[in-house]
Structure 1
Amino acid sequence: MRFVTSFRFIHAADLHLGSPLSGLMLKDRQMAERFAAAGRAAFSALIEYALAEKVDFMVIAGDVYDGAWKDNHIGLFFNREIARLSRAGIPVYFLRGNHDAESIVTRTIAMPEGVYEFSTRKPQTFVLDDLKVALHGQGFAERVAADNLALSYPAALPGHFNIGVLHTSLSGRPPHAVYAPCSVADLAARGYDYWALGHVHAFEAVSTDPPVIYPGNLQGRNIRETGPKGVVLVTVEDGRPRYERIMLDCARFETVEVPLGPEMADGAIPAAIEAALLPFAETADERPVALRVTLSGRHPAAERIKAARAQWRDDVQAACHRIHAELWLEKLVIDVETTDAEAPAAETELLVDIDALVRDIASGQTLAVEDMIAEIGRKLPSGAAPGEPLLGAGEQELLAEARDILRARLAGEG
């Protein structure tokens, strides 16, 4: 079959509009607000890009919204932005995922002309006669979609470029929950020319024949969603699709590890940190980047570094800004072990008492540590990122760190 038309479309997914910012521990309030607004800013950037490129249509493969609306504010925002495409004659086709299933997002705003939602009851097909394109999809009626929805999708429409739109985990994409499970073979059996998937927040080209693509989410929301984020631009010529990633995120999360060695002089540590930060300056551009920096390895000054955590945090933030004005320290993790050269003196009676006290706490004989952590967490301005401990570390890690800090401070006083 030979196509006589060429066209371009945008494949987006997982906008999560209305998603709260979680786990961001920035000292600068204005910068924290920029990160909080990044999700909406990225969606506006997507609209601007679609208008500038004059694409033929847009596909959004689920999770437009992050959950139930508290009011119509987020729906009105989506309506306002998507109406810009409507006025430009660029149709939009979207479906509901697990976060914005029909049973979850029950409030409605009338969509502009040219914005089409796939049915949640059964697969639905939209045909673009002028482009000879057929789009097939089904949204989620309920948050949990345990059935293989792909098996019910219709056969490819002859003489058309067929696009399957589906919110799915395929056969499993940890840590994402399993929804609408299916295999690549199930998708290929439909005979479509392109599969526009959603649900997985990292870009992935699952298959090339036919292309089965996760574009990833539009905007990273916490430290678990690192790296460049955006959409996929698909160009179809003579029936052959090719795709490219378009980065539209307005803020970014990254992680970097700085290994320390036993022979490294104390004064060499800042230079090692700056060297590790340099690559992020090249990709930051004008967007802010929240960096989680981890100091790892073994070093004689491990306990002194942990005891001076607040000063080290400020020093690392200063290093970030020496490299690039938009590099911000999200969190400093000190995962450095001491060497034998500066091991605690076992014969010191006071240090033995500290070890015994920590053992008692860890076994629950002295304090309810979990209750203390929960109480502190309730007083924090924002919660931890999904899947992370409430205070960014587990109970045993916090107790071990407290022991090292006490040792370092007592040694200093001695």
Structure 2
Amino acid sequence: MWIFSLLWPFGTFIASIRNYKYRNFVIASLGIAIMYALCMQVTATDTFNADITRNLRNAADSQYKTWGYIFLEKDFLTSIIGKLACYVSDDLRFLGVIFEILNTWMFLKCIQIIENKINSYGLSMSPLWITVLVLAFSFWEINSLRFALATTFYVWCALEYFMNGNNHFKYYSILSPFIHFGYFIVVPSLLIYDWLKDRTKLVWIIFAVSFFLTTPAVSLYINNLSQEYMSESVAKNVDGYASERGLEGMAERYAEGARTGNLNRAISRSMVDIRNYTVMACVGLLSLLCYRSKNKNEEMVRIMNYLLLFYSFSNVANSNSQGVRFYATAALLAVCFFIVFIAKSQMVNVLSIAQKRLCIIGCIIVSIATLMNLYIGRDAANLGSVMFNNIIFRAISIII
């Protein structure tokens, strides 16, 4: 499998899904992740300046910072990794490979947790389920480097907590904001879950109220709190997004993108919104159906309560334009749980027909959104090279 993955990573990856075995899937996933990193465009041009270029440059610049200065940064974990990697090389593409491998490793831990849970029901992971999970995670996409790493890490912690009953990971999730500072808004959803897991009506009230907290006024209030109680570096970063000036700047930035973007951009943006709000609706309806079911499944009710709590904090985060990204995390978490519910329902009657359809709809919408993004080609990589190239030739061509 190692040899095949080196010769043709993409083909090996597809084969590992079709004939799924965890060990082979691990090798193939690492192969395609490295191939993707080698094909990323890491040099900014007049027509291309993706976030990944800036993120990798910041990681490379960590080599010039003292350890004391790094630990004073608001989200220092990527700087730590960057500084350690730079002891070997500060080449941006090399750093991209390191971060791709790290994100893929956490993704594989998530897959292993889900597979073990499905195996506990006497079933095996099907090619369809693994395909949906691959598309939901999009583990190769690290354009928004810090947010991508923080998302995979947070999901890993949540799955360890809910599916393996490992309580320590609930507290490990607190490290997420140190990867991407924005996660400080949604981390509380997992920390307060134990108190609210059986208080469904209260969770519904919190969820309903959260829609009234998506206004710019909330963003300005968060900014005022950061200015008063947080460090200067943190307050400055929050101000760039949550202040009146920051909100106006982000609004103009997106307006400019809408004016200059083509039809593909408009379709892609619309599909993101469809994914966000359709999956949210599926979670809300599932929560209602689970709560009113005669044979109430306590596990499902509690997990739906957690997802609604996460959506509630995501709504608050959405008072700032960048907060909408947490809806994607919520959709990813939902798909992970949906697949486990669907698998369990094949052995035990835990889903009604309506509940199963809602789970399936959520999985389909998330998968379509990812496929559309791949087709439109918003990722900072040459997808043709990813599919038809190999690691050895690509690495040699870069060195030469």
* Bucket of the pairwise TM-score, normalised by the shorter protein: under 0.3
With the length of structure 1 as denominator, give the TM-score of the two structures.
0.22
Higher helix proportion, which one? 2
When Rg is computed on C-alpha atoms for both structures, the one with the higher figure is 1
Choose between structure 1 and 2 for higher RCO, CA contacts under 8 A separated by at least 6 residues. 2
With the length of structure 2 as denominator, give the TM-score of the two structures.
0.23
